[in-house]
Structure 1
Amino acid sequence: MGKHILVISQYFYPEHFRINDICTEWVKRGYKVTVITGIPNYPQGKYYDGYGLVKKRKETFNGIEILRIPLIPRGDNAIMLVLNYLSFVVAGFLWKSFTNIKADYVFIFEVSPMTQALPGVWFAKSRKVPCYLYVQDLWPENVEIITGIKNKYIIGSIGKMVNYIYARCTRIFTTSNRFIKSIHDRGVPIDKIEYWPQYAEDFYIPLEKTSIPEIPDNAFNIIFAGNIGIAQGLDILPKAAALLKEKICKKIRFIIVGDGRYKNELINIVESSGLTEVFKFIPKQPAEKIPEFIAASDAAFLSLSDNALFAMTIPAKLQSYMACGIPTIASAAGETDDIINESNSGVCSLPGDVEGLVENIIKLSNKTEEELRQLGSNARKYYDVHFNKKMLLENMDKYFNVM
């Protein structure tokens, strides 16, 4: 058995995050992998069936040992979300104090909340082992955007926590080049930070164009697949749909696949706007099925709320779409816009720009099948060069072979 990697991630299988595949690949490469995580409840806000405070607290998945520490589920309001974040930290502190696990490295998979990094930092310090942090969300910026909290004392306190975590990590990896400056500006040496973009799992591959019962082929189908939250900025779609009805005769349909805290509100907006024929909502699907839905669609959509932080973010679904070889219609700025333009794999308008989005949808819907195929092919070629899984994992290997 190779080196032992202890992974700290508040979210893990059966919740769907890229860390599941990263850990699986590490096992294949000969590492021993143990994951400290919570009881699965994302994004619905309640424990998954079969899991609980006394059920399935230990589990093995693809050769990975999973240890679940207790936490309060996210629920459906801000208070429950805060309790969810804090409970993982408290349980993590108790776990760290009593565990007899020995590991060679700690790897923290940081999507919000950043608080989840604390048990990993504490463990690494007490055991004197290297601690690697993989930053997907910038804090405290993300807190201000998602919660609307502007109180300088609260944000300042969170900022001190973030600085504490950064200072105690051996190395910091980021999913976006633009995160590097923000982290460096918090006093982190530039040579301690490295861009390590996300890749898509192996099942995200181009499939032959097809039709499936869930997606009728009597329209130009634009698919969105993933978490339906506030940060995704999906409120732009009903506005765009209303404009499209006025501008063109060609039928456009938005296929929304997934679940999340904003889903019910989005459905209500669609229904109250008289746009139900333009939207089709499909429940959350196993990730392995998403390429089939993409293959039955003409283009894929991603959007982010209009904020400077999100201009620095590369949403994980961009890699998934590109790996599947489908043209992307984006309502985003910054790094996402750069990638789509550089790869010539779709169209991008600024966040919140409804008319710009509508023009891009019309532009793409008027392209021939061959032109759409070429955009999809461009996407896959760019993915193979810049987000190649084997290349990225081999680059990470050098940090696990230094002892």
Structure 2
Amino acid sequence: MRLAYLSHYFPPESNAPAARVHELSRALVRAGHEVHVVTGQPNHPHGKIYPGYRAAEYRRERVDGIEVHRVPTLPAASRGVLRRGLGYMSLPTSQIALGAARLPAVDLVLATSPQILTGVAGLALARLRRVPFVLEVRDLWPDGIVAVGALKPGHPIVRALEVVESTLYRGAAGVVSVTDSFVDHFVARGVARERIAVVKNGIDTALFAADADPAPLRAQLGIPEGALLLLYCGTIGMAQDVGLLARAAALAGPDDDFHVVVVGHGVGLPALVDEIAALGVGRRVHVLPSVPRRDVPGIIAAADVSAVILRDEPTFARYLPSKIFEAMAMRQPILLGVRGEAQRLVEGSGAGLAFAPGDPADALAKLRAFAALGRDGRARMGEAARAHVLAHHDRDRQAEDLGRFLARIARSRS
């Protein structure tokens, strides 16, 4: 099978969407499929084109056997509504035009959302090529926009995005979901269950090896060896309530021997830095810049517990953040502030402790519980976490499931 895979992100960008597309595509190539990724020039998260790339060029490269087609891109950082909107619209336009002109004949077009307009590009390209279109949904749009308070329900933009969402579902021969909880959302909008495949987030077992050398975070930040080190590593955005960790630290007493290390970048970073300063917890809460994906395992290995946090909104109870699986693969217990499917997974597998999202006092109580477990107790939790993720979230096996689903759709339309 030869497929086109449209994505807003791809390495060397190091966020979770880029990793998923790269790792699934690489595994599909290993299984004998030909994958053509159509993406932009790398510029996330700072909205600046990476060295060696040019915004206005078309560029074809081969990455781990994947044919990568980079199309002209208007880079936009996470601030500036107009420029960001233009950036989101320009990339899908380039994906359609250059995809139609430069791609060889394909059996199927797969587009991953967000951004939702990437899905529009995938549908348009599939129609031009007269092949089936499959939509992969990692975040619910526009529900997620409303959940973070960016727009109110009923706003004209929200209504327009709801029309786009419905159009994509109607036009898709298949829908790939990253959680079980999304399935009912799709069915309620007219997608037949037999057209849905669940391929959850997972891990590259070679990259996230449990014996990775730890990064020297303690020496770098002056954190005592005996102190509990809680790590948050990832996007600091509107959906992630990372400031809750600072608020929990503000409630801690002199006998609470823990430090919080936040590694990441995003639109919420300035507010987080301001909140840490306002609460006076800078000696306990440390912020470091984001790192390349290849360095993430060492960062996780340096910590005792990993935090995964989303805002307390009903929409986010359907989400399974990819950070969960990366921590589990590294034998790292999880402090979870997400309800729903994520909580059932973490607690059911014995991989961590959950607190009520939005409640810093409860988060502090769970941190104290982790401290009371000691190294041996946390190690047992970490072993359970890794066993579960290896059994259920290996990216290569997930790619096999995805490949079978896509091949069935391609055959049914041939």
Question: Same fold judged by TM-score > 0.5?
Answer: yes
Q: CA RMSD in A?
A: 1.9
Q: Counterparts of 1:100 and 1:116 in 2: how far apart (Å)? A: 16
CA contact (8 A) 2:197 2:405 kept: no
Alpha-carbon distance in 2 for matches of 1:218, 1:370: 14
Match of 1:230 among 229, 234, 238: 238
Instruction: Assess if the C-alpha contact under 8 Å between 1:43 and 1:261 holds in 2.
Output: no
| Aligned match of 1:262 | 268
Distance in 2, Cα, partners of 1:73 & 1:107 = 23
Q: Please tell me the residue identity of whatever aligns with 1:397.
A: G
1:90 to partner: Cα distance: 2.5
> Can you list the C-alpha shifts for 1:347-381, whole angstroms capped at 9, x where unaligned?
11121011111110111112121101000011111
Confirm whether residue 339 of structure 1 aligns to residue 345 of structure 2: yes
Aligned-partner SS, 1:368 = helix
Secondary structure, in 3 states, of the residue corresponding to 1:5? strand
Encode CA deviations 1:250-270: one digit per residue, 9 max, x unaligned: 321111112222112211221
Quote the residue 2:147 is aligned against. Answer: 145
Query: Structure 1 residue 92: deviation in Å?
Result: 2.9
- Indicate yes or no: 2:176 matched with 1:176: no
Equivalent residue letter for 1:258: G
Deviations 1:214-252 (A, max 9, x none): 3643421011111111211112111111001x3x51321
**Residue equivalent to 1:293:** 299
For the 8 Å contact 1:43–1:227, the answer to whether it is kept is: no
**Counterparts of 1:208 and 1:99, CA distance in 2:** 41
Amino acid at match of 1:8: L
Please tell me whether the aligned partners of residues 50 and 56 of structure 1 are also in contact (alpha carbons under 8 angstroms): no
| In structure 1, C-alpha distance between the alignment counterparts of 2:220 and 2:56, rounded to whole Å | 38
Check conservation: 2:55, 2:75, Cα contact below 8 A.
Answer: no
CA contact (8 A) 2:57 2:71 kept: no
Q: In structure 1, give the amino acid aligned to 2:184.
A: K
* CA shift digits 1:118-171 (9 cap, x unpaired): 111111122222222211011121222342243443322211111111111111
In 2 relative to 1, CA 357–187 (structure 1 residues): closer, same or farther, beyond 3 Å? Answer: same
- State which drifts further: 391-400 or 8-17: 391-400
Matches within 5 A, 1:137-286: 137-146=139-148, 147-202=150-205, 203-207=207-211, 212=216, 213-214=219-220, 216=223, 217-244=225-252, 246=253, 248-286=254-292
The answer on whether the counterparts of 2:229 and 2:304 sit within 8 Å (CA) in structure 1 is: yes
AA at the equivalent of 1:13? P
Query: What's 2:55 paired with?
Result: 53
Q: Look up the equivalent residue of 1:49 and give its one-letter code.
A: P
Q: Which moved more, 1:151-160 or 1:267-276?
A: 151-160
Q: For 1:401 and 1:173, how far apart are their aligned partners in 2?
A: 13
Q: Tell me what 2:119 maps to.
A: 117
Find the aligned partners of 2:50 and 2:239 in 1 and give their Cα distance: 24
CA–CA separation in structure 1 for the residues paired with 2:373 and 2:363: 16
Q: TM-score, normalised by structure 2?
A: 0.91
Higher relative contact order (CA 8 A, sep 6+): 2
Q: Deviations over 1:327-352 (max 9, x none)?
A: 00011111111111101111111210
Query: Structure 1 stretches of 5 or more lacking a match?
Result: none
Distance in structure 1 (CA, Å) of the matches to 2:263 and 2:48:
20
- Aligned partner letter, 2:323: K
Distance 1:395 1:353 in 2: 38
Q: Which residue of 1 aligns with 2:11?
A: 13
Residue 34 of structure 1 corresponds to 36
Cα deviation, residue 183, structure 1:
1.2
Partners of 1:60 and 1:280 in 2: CA distance = 38
Which residue identity is paired with 1:87? S
Alignment of 1:381 onto 2:379? no
Superimposed CA distance per residue, residues 55-108 of structure 1 (whole angstroms, 9 cap, x where no aligned partner): 573322112222122232222222222112111232234335544531112121
Taking the aligned partners of 1:155 and 1:295, their CA distance within structure 2 comes to 41
Contact 1:207 1:292 in 2 (8 A): no
Q: 1:323 aligned to 2:329?
A: yes
Q: 1:394 to 1:236 in 2, by over 3 A?
A: same
Between stretches 318-327 and 283-292, larger displacement belongs to: 283-292
Matching residue of 2:374? 368
In the superposition, the TM-score normalised over structure 1's length comes to 0.93
Alignment correspondent of 2:130 = 128
Aligned to 1:351: 357
Q: Distance in 1 between matches of 2:189 and 2:289?
A: 41
Q: Deviations over 1:176-214 (max 9, x none)?
A: 111001111111112211221111122112127857243
Unaligned 5+ residue runs, structure 2? none
Q: Deviations over 1:264-299 (max 9, x none)?
A: 221122123211111222222121222212222110
Q: Return the alpha-carbon distance in structure 2 between the equivalents of residues 320 and 170 of structure 1.
A: 31
- Structure 2: how far apart are the matches of 1:91 and 1:290? 32
Distance 1:100 1:280, change over 3 A: closer
Task: Name the CA distance, whole Å, in 1 between partners of 2:30 and 2:401.
Answer: 16
1:208–1:15 Cα change, 3 Å:
closer
SS at match of 1:260: coil
In the aligned structure 2, how far is the partner of 1:100 from the partner of 1:20?
18
Question: Per the alignment, do residues 90 and 210 of structure 1 end up closer, same or farther by CA in structure 2, a change over 3 Å counting?
Answer: closer
SS in 2 for 1:277: coil
Change (3 A) 1:208 1:353: same
Question: Post-superposition, which runs of at least 4 consecutive aligned residues in structure 1 deviate over 4 A?
Answer: 208-211
The letter for the 2-side match of 1:186 is: R
- Letter in structure 1 aligned against 2:36: T
